[in-house]
Structure 1
């Protein structure tokens, strides 16, 4: 569903795991910082709201969205990190530069997640313009950072379910 039809900050909270025991890394792109700071604040506050401890959340900054992949890999390789949330914003420009960046980041984060077996969350906005970005970073369409944090929480819940399920 397109985010113009859905509020990114509204989601089901049924059967969430206890996140007080989990450690999260949030990797934030510095490019488009007015947007990415809002995304970070949304993700951070959502984690806290659902039980994460402030001492169990670490932030790492990278120059731009392209660098999210390597930042995510460094954090995901750590034994003391359970999930990595990656936040960025790549706004369409006059060239196809954004297409290459968005594809590389999406593929890269997927690869890191598969390689490490940990949730690595794609919280990257890919809007056509600045206003669309702001609308999705705490504006009229909610906050993609909230959604990214909730995705990390839900993936940790699924991981627990998968590894604790026993067939009878």
Structure 2
């Protein structure tokens, strides 16, 4: 039933027909981020969000998600922002710096704008783990990020 989210035994009812979502998608690791995007959109649509109320913006990589999210969250016509990216660990500490900066930055967008900015960024050890979380055997974290955005809007009312 559109508009009802099930989480354990609790249901959250929210009319999503007028809610607008921005989805910021990192272009780096495109195969994975596109799968995350597809999962997020499918989830939003399944819960009653109108396709015309989903705005997509691409950024070069996960590091740029923060500024893209801020720009979208500052818009009066956007109710929630979903950030989708994928950072795969390499042989240098670059992974640690990027992951920490993105997590902190998205948290700051939440606090600064008082709108949900959802961390849908995979931080995996390898590509196989990322694929498993982007529609593979461990589900689609893009779908989960969309549900998180809806639940956060429901808290605010």
Q: What TM-score bracket applies, with the shorter chain setting the length? A: over 0.9
Unaligned runs of 5+ in 2: 1-5
Give CA-to-partner distance per residue, 1:91-149, whole Å, 9 cap, x none.
00011101100000000000011000000000000010000000000000000000000
TM-score, normalised via structure 2 length: 0.94
Is residue 101 from structure 1 mapped to residue 98 from structure 2 by the alignment? yes
Q: CA deviation at 1:16?
A: 3.2
1:17 is displaced (CA, Å) by 1.2
Alignment of 1:5-84 (within 5 A): 12=7, 14-84=11-81
CA displacement 1:145-165 (0-9 Å, x = unmatched): 0000000000000011xxxxx
TM-score by length of 1: 0.88
In structure 2, how many angstroms separate the alpha carbons of the residues matched to 1:15 and 1:86?
A: 22
Task: Give the total of aligned pairs.
Answer: 150
Distance in 1 of aligned mates of 2:70 and 2:13? 25
Alpha-carbon distance in 1 for matches of 2:60, 2:91: 21
> Structure 1 stretches of 5 or more lacking a match?
1-10, 161-168
Structure number with greater CO (CA < 8 Å, separation at least 6) is: 1
The structure 1 segments of at least 4 consecutive aligned residues displaced by more than 6 Å after TM superposition are: none
Q: Which has the higher strand share?
A: 2
**RMSD value, Cα:** 0.9
Deviations 1:53-98 (A, max 9, x none): 0000000000000000000000000000000000000000011101
